[in-house]
């Protein structure tokens, strides 16, 4: 039976997982590989899925629960991209607030799917700004229990990727690699930039060739883990917009900047706020990965009457408050100027993680 290689790309919210997956999928396709992608979220209407599909990639989404708590959903998605795209490489992005993947995903796959899947080393991505704070014993501007999840992700990794290397000086990159290797001596630590492509092939080489995966199972306190997830309100929404020859680029930037201000002034830590606006054949996508000054936007659309906005927010406040803030910001952005119609809207507080499987030992 043909074996499909499956690569899990984990790491905290906003670390750069989706951007890297997109970059790598393109490289693999150029090399003649058939690639299938799997995204994952607590709720449907995922910006990542919309964006990856916009790039013409084959994507299956597991939504409503994380991979660990919906192992069968993951198995279905594997079947789907395996069958539809005849994938020989599958890249899967677990929810950014998920940890314990070695015990709950990698070991069960290694044991039960030996015949058809080759599991690659578990790669965990870390945003350098957050990583430095964690290495200093701080909380990366997150609730202490969310920072616990961040640390557990690193502890269980086979490979740690320091992302966004383009934002640091080369000496700073090397210093951070050294510090990270010291703190997590079992992991291979590599720098990477999905923006410039630096380090991408070196990482790809590791995950395409190495067969040992999930070499460690770490102890995870599920009470802290559950609380670390529950401090984040979660909102996924899609809104249809209508106006008269509107510059939707300005609209998207202003909306995200306004949201950044609102969260900062309320003192709510941002896990990730992401929005994609589609109009015609093009799109603009913006991200906040912390305070308002982390706002980054790329892509653009030409002025048009209609647009579709998908927004995902993971912010340290309760879901009612998150819901109210985002509705208010949308109301202010559209008031008296544009029509807006909500087509999907889910707001939730993640429940306690309850994995389908949890292996106590490495298989």
Ligand X SMILES: Nc1nc2c(ncn2[C@@H]2O[C@H](COP(=O)(O)OP(=O)(O)O)[C@@H](O)[C@H]2O)c(=O)[nH]1
- Contacts with ligand X, residue ranges (CB under 6 A): 11, 13-19, 96, 163-164, 166-167, 193-195, 272, 287, 289, 296
* Interaction of residue 100 with Mg ion, rule CB under 5 A: no
Sign of the C-alpha dihedral, residues 199, 314, 251, 302?
positive
* Interaction of residue 41 with Mg ion, rule CB under 5 A: no
How far apart CA 62 and CA 209 sit, in angstroms, is 27
Within 13 Å of residue 235, how many CA atoms lie on the same side as its CB?
25
CB 305, min distance to ligand X, A: 28
Q: Nearest residue by C-beta to Mg ion?
A: 18
CB 298, min distance to ligand X, A: 6
Contact 64, 43 (CB under 8 A): yes
How far apart CA 116 and CA 251 sit, in angstroms, is 47
Between residues 16 and 350, which has the closer beta carbon with respect to ligand X? 16
Residue 252 interface partner, choices ligand X, Mg ion, none, CB cut-off 5-8 Å depending on type: none
Contact 183, 135 (CB under 8 A): yes
Between residues 93 and 323, which has the closer beta carbon with respect to Mg ion? 93
Q: 354: which DSSP letter?
A: -
For 52-100, the three-class secondary structure string (H helix, E strand, C coil) is HHHCCCCEEEEECCCCHHHHHHHHHHHHHHHHHCCCCEEEECCCCCCCC
- Which residue stretch of 2-10, 43-51, 246-254, 292-300 sits at the interface with Mg ion (rule: CB under 5 A)? 43-51
How far apart CA 281 and CA 252 sit, in angstroms, is 17
Residue 296 interface partner, choices ligand X, Mg ion, none, CB cut-off 5-8 Å depending on type: ligand X
Q: Which runs of consecutive H residues, i.e. helices, occur in the chain?
A: 17-30, 47-54, 71-84, 101, 107-112, 128-135, 144-155, 170-183, 200-209, 222-230, 248-266, 319-334
Residue 215 interface partner, choices ligand X, Mg ion, none, CB cut-off 5-8 Å depending on type: none
Between residues 50 and 277, which has the closer beta carbon with respect to Mg ion? 50
Between residues 99 and 107, which has the closer beta carbon with respect to ligand X? 99
Between residues 14 and 243, which has the closer beta carbon with respect to Mg ion? 14
Backbone angles phi, psi at 65, to 5 degrees: -170, 155
- Tokens (6 digits) for 97: 């607030």
Question: Which residue's structure tokens are 């048009």?
Answer: 304
Q: Kindly give the interhelix angle for 47-54 and 17-30, rounded to the nearest 10 degrees.
A: 20
* Interaction of residue 42 with Mg ion, rule CB under 5 A: no
Residue 80 interface partner, choices ligand X, Mg ion, none, CB cut-off 5-8 Å depending on type: none
* Interaction of residue 180 with Mg ion, rule CB under 5 A: no
CB 188, min distance to Mg ion, A: 22
Q: What Rg value do the Cα atoms of the chain yield, rounded?
A: 20
CB 332, min distance to Mg ion, A: 27
Between residues 103 and 168, which has the closer beta carbon with respect to ligand X? 168
CB 29, min distance to Mg ion, A: 19
Question: Which residue's structure tokens are 């920072």?
Answer: 147
Residue 105 interface partner, choices ligand X, Mg ion, none, CB cut-off 5-8 Å depending on type: none
Chosen residue from 48, 61, 158, 323 binding Mg ion by CB under 5 A: 48
Please give the residues from 10 up to 39 whose contact with Mg ion meets the rule CB under 5 A. 17-18
Residue 195 interface partner, choices ligand X, Mg ion, none, CB cut-off 5-8 Å depending on type: ligand X
CB 359, min distance to Mg ion, A: 26
């Amino acid at each position: 039976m043909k074996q499909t290689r499956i690569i899990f790309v984990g790491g905290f919210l906003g670390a750069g997982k989706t951007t890297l997956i997109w970059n790598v999928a393109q490289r693999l396709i150029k090399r003649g590989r058939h690639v299938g992608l799997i995204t994952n979220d607590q709720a449907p209407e995922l910006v990542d899925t919309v964006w990856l599909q916009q790039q013409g990639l084959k994507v299956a989404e597991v939504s409503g629960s994380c991979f660990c708590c919906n192992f069968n959903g993951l198995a279905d998605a594997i079947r789907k991209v395996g069958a539809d795209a005849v994938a020989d490489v599958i890249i899967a992005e677990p929810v950014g607030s998920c940890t314990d993947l070695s015990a709950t995903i990698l070991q069960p796959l290694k044991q039960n799917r030996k015949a058809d899947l080759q599991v690659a080393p578990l790669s965990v991505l870390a945003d350098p700004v957050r990583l430095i704070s964690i290495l200093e014993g701080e909380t990366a501007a997150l609730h202490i229990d969310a920072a616990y999840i961040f640390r557990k992700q690193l502890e269980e990794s086979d490979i740690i990727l320091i992302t966004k290397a383009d934002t640091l000086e080369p000496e700073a990159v090397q210093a951070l690699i050294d510090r990270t290797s010291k703190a997590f001596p079992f992991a291979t630590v590599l720098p990477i930039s999905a923006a410039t492509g630096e380090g991408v092939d070196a990482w790809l080489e590791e995950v395409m060739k190495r067969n040992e995966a999930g070499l460690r199972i770490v102890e995870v306190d599920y009470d802290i883990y559950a609380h670390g997830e529950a401090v984040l309100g979660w909102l996924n929404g899609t809104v249809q917009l209508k106006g008269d020859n509107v510059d939707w680029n300005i609209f998207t930037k202003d909306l995200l900047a306004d949201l950044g201000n609102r969260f900062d002034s309320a003192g709510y830590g941002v896990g990730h706020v992401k929005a994609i606006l589609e109009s015609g054949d093009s799109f603009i996508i913006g991200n906040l990965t912390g305070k308002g000054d982390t706002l980054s936007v790329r892509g653009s659309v030409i002025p048009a009457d209609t647009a579709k906005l998908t927004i995902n927010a993971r912010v340290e406040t309760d879901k009612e408050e998150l819901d109210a803030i985002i509705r208010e910001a949308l109301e202010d952005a559209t008031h008296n100027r544009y029509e807006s119609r909500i087509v999907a809207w889910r707001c939730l507080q993640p429940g306690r993680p309850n994995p389908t499987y949890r292996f106590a030992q490495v298989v």
